[in-house]
Amino acid sequence: MSLSIGLLSICRQKISKITCNIAIAVSALSIVHTPAMADSGASSTTAHTDVRVETKIDKKIPSNAASTDPKFQALHSSWGGNIAPTMSLSIPSIDPVTKVDISSYYGYRTDPFRGRRKNHKGLDIRGPVGTPIYATADGFVKISKWFGSYGKFIEIDHGNGITTRYGHMSRLKVSANMRVKKGDIIGLMGSTGRSTGSHLHYEVRVAGEPVNPLSFMSQSSNPVKFADKSKTSQAQGGPAQ
């Protein structure tokens, strides 16, 4: 019995102490977040003293907290910070090579490897190995590397969901994260990846979906006639899908 009474007494003491701590915490919060409006001189002095202490603490925060606080830096980076590229819309409007000789058009065709009818998502433009390939609009290089069946591959972001793709190159002359201008040489023609001969596989995509690149090329101003559609026996390729 005496043991039970002793435990009960200890529990009451702990509950009383917890209640007291809660009361002190609530009182402190009310002082920090509520302007001191007490009528008595003593209570008014106490409230203003607390506010002055809090102000002193704020003044100790360094002005370069953004560069010293790891949590702030992580949040800043998640928003993009000052390293995110600013993009403005640029429409592809020139040909990716000087001489346009199309060996395979956009749309359904007979796959040169499997002999089945497949959807071709770009243009195959044939030419000698080493032919310069140009960026068809201002943009930001998203990818520049070997990319599966595309071989040596570049993708450029032109803003507002418009991208261009260049595949099967023999050499890449730009790197990922670089900015390019319309007409810059970005690579050289070749036959890397899934290819039957030296050519450029050129795509234009809007919101991730391929569209006909001919709509963005200067057919009327190009002095070289486009290849006849029947000439599809050489220099083809492209992704298997």
pLDDT per residue over 20-65, tens digit each? 555 555 454 454 444 444 444 444 444 444 444 444 444 444 445 4
pTM of the full structure: 0.57
State the average pLDDT over residues 166-193: 97
Q: How confident is the model at residue 1 (pLDDT cuts 50, 70, 90)?
A: low
CA distance 210 to 205: 4
CA distance 226 to 69: 59
* Residue from 219, 177, 3, 14 nearest 84 by CA: 177
Work out the percent of the chain whose per-residue pLDDT is above 90.
45
Higher per-residue confidence, 17 vs 160: 160
Q: Which two tokens stand for residue 238?
A: 């492209």
State the average pLDDT over residues 122-151: 96
81-124 per-position pLDDT tens digit: 444 455 678 999 999 999 999 988 998 766 655 556 677 899 99
Q: Is the pLDDT confidence value at 154 over 50?
A: yes
Q: What is the pLDDT of residue 118?
A: 72
Q: What is the pLDDT of residue 88?
A: 72
Q: What is the pLDDT of residue 133?
A: 98
Q: How confident is the model at residue 10 (pLDDT cuts 50, 70, 90)?
A: low
State the average pLDDT over residues 219-226: 47
Whether residue 163 contacts residue 142, with contact meaning beta carbons closer than 8 Å, is answered with yes
**Strand 102-104 with 123-126, pairing:** antiparallel
CA distance 172 to 152: 7
Where are the domains positioned within the chain?
Answer: 2-78, 102-216
Q: What is the pLDDT of residue 120?
A: 82
- The mean pLDDT of the chain is 73
Q: What is the pLDDT of residue 159?
A: 95
- Long-range Cβ contact pairs of 205-212 (< 8 A, separation 24 or more): 205/162, 205/163, 205/164, 205/165, 206/161, 206/162, 207/161, 208/161, 210/106, 210/121, 210/122, 212/106, 212/107
- Tell me which architecture the domain covering 102-216 has in CATH: Distorted Sandwich (2.70)
